[in-house]
Amino acid sequence: MGLQEILYGVAITNLVGSTNREVTALVFDSRQVVKDSVFFAVKGTLSDGHTYIPATIEAGASVIVCEEIPEVKNELVTYIEVENSAAALGIMASNFYGNPSSKLQLIGITGTNGKTTIATLLFKLFRELGYKVGLISTVENHINDEVIPATHTTPNPLALNSLLQDMVAADCSYCFMEVSSHAVVQHRIEGLDFSGGVFSNITHDHLDFHVTFDNYIKAKKAFFDGLPKSAFALTNVDDKNGMVMLQNTKASKKTYALKQLGDFKAKVLENSFNGLHLDIDGADVFFKLVGSFNAYNLLAVYGTAMLLEQDQLSVLTVLSRLTGAEGRFEYIVSNTGVIGIIDYAHTPDAVQNVLSTIQDIRKGTEQVITVIGCGGDRDKTKRPIMAQVACDWSDKVILTSDNPRTENPQTIVEDMEKGVSPTNKRKTLSIVDRKEAIKTACHLAKPGDIILLAGKGHEKYQEINGVRHHFDDKEVLMEQFNLIS
């Protein structure tokens, strides 16, 4: 493909060599360079891509996109200097794949919790309404009925645009995608043409990466700041920072709320293990999803469908039949009547929401036993808070491991223990091995009791030192409940 065509829309600050040449591929990892490819030198969190420039030229790269042209140059190579290589990668990836985001309606969903739930419900809803649809999410990606495994919540610009191109080739009219705060800061969504943006909420998470909560808010807001005038920006105004998201957007501003005034309104009439009964924009509807936090997710989905000009009655009829995303408040009942819930709550707010939902819908006398861990190499400040919330809202808590990654799991559990108050100590156990922790919870549970397995949801692995070992909370629970041998 011609380099000039791929450079459309990129602000070049300095250029050495000709842009009138053919290139074969775009690459941001030196280990993947092929002959006549364009290498993007990106400054990352662990290393600086600029250090690999000589090696990539050796391996056949003929164009280098960088933030500083090296002093020692190869005369056969074109050097393109830009302000931000990651942002240039986003724009050039879009051009390289034929700008697929402008050939369908792309809706981005951002927020601390609820992204996967909202995106998955939108995908299922629009499929049921008869459309061809794509989904980009933490659990998995979809092109209609085809499933493509997901590695990140929001993929890198090359994977992302390649996926969107495949969606266009499969005639998809819509794509619903999660937009993580990492993706915004790292320019993974640069150059995409969004038709809409949805905000769920913002609470404590990822402070290892963003450092301050203010930076985290700014990252989410930057997504809305970048939306075009033709798009809509739908926000949850019950969230303290919901309106902040809309402050500088050019997009058409829309709101949803349970408590405040909003363009889309709902009221929880009943919340039980059987689901939610809502008054949604004046219609009385039962939904299969459990927990009042899901009333927000359902309302966000409903609002998005209305903004995409779907028929209200058809939308509510289909939505009322849908189940949520895998590993989000999924529950199993043992033969003895113990209820096990698998949930992806991995932030203080999510843990509190899921436990308060359990408190709302429990019958009264049964105990709630929570098994919970915190991820390694991730926000350490949320560890004691998650343990504290778990203790405050449960009768028994077992602190355990959740993807220790390169950290010592014992140390992570000790960080969590710091959040356990002296009065809560008596209801807490620490069992580092997650399987043992789940087994113990099952031994402690009596008929009617509720076990919450928090943090891993759909994940089928435990990540230790770069290796993903098979581990599935649901499978372990089913074994303990004697539902599988």
Ligand X SMILES: CC(=O)N[C@H]1[C@@H](OP(=O)(O)OP(=O)(O)OC[C@H]2O[C@@H](n3ccc(=O)[nH]c3=O)[C@H](O)[C@@H]2O)O[C@H](CO)[C@@H](O)[C@@H]1O[C@H](C)C(=O)N[C@@H](C)C(=O)N[C@H](CCC(=O)O)C(=O)O
Contact positions vs Mg ion (CB under 5 A): 115-116, 138, 153
The binder of ligand API chosen from 187, 221, 265, 378 (CB under 6 A): 378
Q: Report how far residue 203's alpha carbon sits from residue 306's, in angstroms, rounded to the nearest whole number.
A: 27
Q: Report how far residue 256's alpha carbon sits from residue 262's, in angstroms, rounded to the nearest whole number.
A: 5
449 binds ligand ATP (CB under 6 A): no
481 binds ligand ATP (CB under 6 A): no
Q: Minimal distance in Å, beta carbon 138 to Mg ion?
A: 3
**CB closer to ligand X out of 28 and 199:** 28
Contact 335, 481 (CB under 8 A): yes
Q: Which amino acid is at 305?
A: A
The contact pattern for ligand API, residues 315-354, with x = CB under 6 A and - = no contact, is -------------------------------x--------
Which of 85, 79, 84, 77 is CA-nearest to residue 58? Answer: 77
Q: Minimal distance in Å, beta carbon 33 to ligand X?
A: 8
Instruction: Give phi and psi for 39, each to the nearest 5.
Output: -105, 130
**CB closer to ligand API out of 316 and 345:** 345
**CB closer to ligand API out of 81 and 208:** 208
**CB closer to ligand ATP out of 94 and 353:** 353
Question: Which part of the chain contacts ligand X (CB under 6 A), choosing from 22-30, 366-374, 457-465, 471-479?
Answer: 22-30
Alpha helices (H) in 286-372, listed in sequence order:
293-307, 312-319, 348-361
Q: Report how far residue 194's alpha carbon sits from residue 185's, in angstroms, rounded to the nearest whole number.
A: 17
Which of the residues 279 through 298 are near ligand ATP (CB under 6 A)? 293, 296-297
For residue 354, with 0-12 CB atoms within 10 Å meaning exposed, 13-18 middle and 19 or more buried, which class applies?
buried
What beta strand segments (E) does 300-423 contain? 330-333, 339-343, 368-374, 396-401
Total residues at interface with ligand API (CB under 6 A): 9
Question: Which part of the chain contacts ligand API (CB under 6 A), choosing from 128-136, 164-172, 330-338, 451-459?
Answer: 451-459
Pairing, β 275-280 against β 283-287 = antiparallel
Which of the residues 144 through 163 are near ligand API (CB under 6 A)? 153
353 binds ligand ATP (CB under 6 A): yes
The binder of ligand X chosen from 180, 320, 357, 401 (CB under 6 A): 180
Q: Report how far residue 418's alpha carbon sits from residue 133's, in angstroms, rounded to the nearest whole number.
A: 46
From ligand API, ligand ATP, Mg ion, none, interface partner of 375 (C-beta below 5 to 8 A by class): ligand API
Q: Report how far residue 175's alpha carbon sits from residue 239's, in angstroms, rounded to the nearest whole number.
A: 26
Q: Checking phi first, is residue 354 left (phi over 0); if not, alpha (psi -120 to 50) or beta?
A: alpha
375 binds ligand API (CB under 6 A): yes
Q: Minimal distance in Å, beta carbon 34 to ligand API?
A: 30
List the end-to-end C-alpha distance of the chain, in Å, as a whole number: 55
State the residues that interact with ligand API by CB under 6 A: 153, 346, 375, 378, 402-403, 455-456, 459
State the residues that interact with ligand ATP by CB under 6 A: 111, 113-117, 138, 153, 178, 200-201, 293, 296-297, 325, 328, 343-345, 349-350, 353-354, 457
